[in-house]
Amino acid sequence: MKLTLHIWRQAGSHSTGRFETYDLADVRPDMSFLEMLDQLNEQLVASNTEPVAFEYDCREGICGTCSLVINGTPHGPRNATTTCQTYMRHFHDGDEIFIEPFRAAAFPIIRDLVVDRSSLDRVAQAGGFISVGTGNAPDANALPIAKQDAEDALSAAACIGCGACVAACPNASASLFTAAKISHFADLPQGGPERGERVRRMIAAMDEEMFGSCTNHGECEAVCPMEISTRLIGQMNREYLRSLVVQT
């Protein structure tokens, strides 16, 4: 099929960006969206033009690196699917496709479609861990954990840290990302001792990093490739309230 691509190009964080239009022929339905962009880039390089910068690594939907807004939606048209796992069979001959970076105050653009998401790392550094030094652990079966609790923890921990939730949110809030980590540990007994401290510190870090606040739009859940539920934001808020009452 033939496509018309409108791609955001921007030389650096402080430059102004604009859409550039490219026509691309011979796109096959069994190509992934990124393979389609590879094809464009190979053509650009062959004509000695700088290729479009876009990020990816695993190309199997698990590393959280790929980050494109496709026709206005972070990660594109497919539910519960990352950009790299989106296939061209979901597009049609003659389609015009708009491709932009994830946009948020906390995600400055680096170049073209590449943004800086290190703010998410800093939120994680504020408390997204259990403080246990290597070699200090008791036997793994010393502490039985209900199967359901372990599964709930895993569903929350499944977050791949891509930041689509932030890009989709009208307030550019990182609440879903942060709530996922808070819930992961709140569901497990190991997370108990640092429970209050963790939620207070991570929420403070979120504010410091210029993420907006949550006003229940629910756009985050709709684009999350791991289908993390906004229910967890409620859980985070309860954890926060609890931390103000119960000092841990």
Partner 1 sequence: MGTAVSAPASMTLDGKVPVGPLAEKWTSYRSDARLVSPKNKRQFHVAIVGSGLAGASAAATLAEQGYRVSCFCFHDSPRRAHSVAAQGGINAAKNYQYDGDSVWRLFHDTIKGGDFRSREANVYRLAEVSSQIIDQCVAQGVPFAREYGGYLANRSFGGALVSRTFYCKGQTGQQLLLGAYGALNRQIAAGNVVMHTRHEMLDLVLTAGACRGIVTRNLLTGEIQSHAADAVVLATGGHSNVFYLSTNAAGCNVTATWRAYKLGAAFANPCFTQIHPTCIPPSGEHQAKLTLMSESLRNDGRMWVPKKVGESRPPTEIPEVDRDYLLERKYPAYGNLAPRDIASRAAKEVCEEGRGVGPKGLGVYLDFAESIAERGRAEIESRYGNLFRMYEEITGENPYRVPMRIFPAPHYTMGGLWVDYELMTTIPGLFAIGEANFSDHGANRLGASALMQGLADGYFVLPQTIGNYLSASRRLPAVNGELQDGARRVTDRVGKLLALRGNRTVESFHRELGRVMWQYCGMSRGREGLLEAIEKIQQLREEFWSSACVPGDHTHLNMALEKAGRVADFLELGELMCRDALTREESCGCHLREEYQTADGEAQRNDEQFAHVAAWNCHGEDHEPVRQQEELVFSEVKVAERSYK
**Residue of 16, 136, 216, 247 interacting with partner 1 (CB under 8 A):** 136
Residue count, binding to partner 1 (CB under 8 A): 80
| 132 binding partner 1? (CB under 8 A) | yes
| 111 binding partner 1? (CB under 8 A) | yes
| 118 binding partner 1? (CB under 8 A) | yes
| 154 binding partner 1? (CB under 8 A) | yes
Only one of the segments 5-13, 52-60, 86-94, 240-248 lies at the binding site for ligand FES (rule: CB under 6 A); that segment is 52-60
In whole angstroms, what separates CA 231 from the centre of its chain? 18
| 197 binding partner 1? (CB under 8 A) | no
| 101 binding partner 1? (CB under 8 A) | no
| 93 binding partner 1? (CB under 8 A) | no
End-to-end CA distance of the chain: 60
**Residue of 4, 11, 96, 231 interacting with partner 1 (CB under 8 A):** 11
Answer with the entry of ligand FES, partner 1, none that 66 interacts with (C-beta below 5 to 8 A by kind). Answer: ligand FES
| 45 binding partner 1? (CB under 8 A) | yes
Shortest distance in whole angstroms from residue 202 CB to partner 1: 11
**Residue of 27, 54, 61, 188 interacting with ligand FES (CB under 6 A):** 61
Q: In whole angstroms, what is the distance from residue 226 CA to residue 229 CA?
A: 9
| 128 binding partner 1? (CB under 8 A) | yes
Number of other CB atoms surrounding residue 158 within 10 Å: 15
**Residue of 74, 76, 101, 161 interacting with partner 1 (CB under 8 A):** 161
Residues at the site binding ligand FES, with contacts judged by CB under 6 A: 56-59, 61-66, 82-84
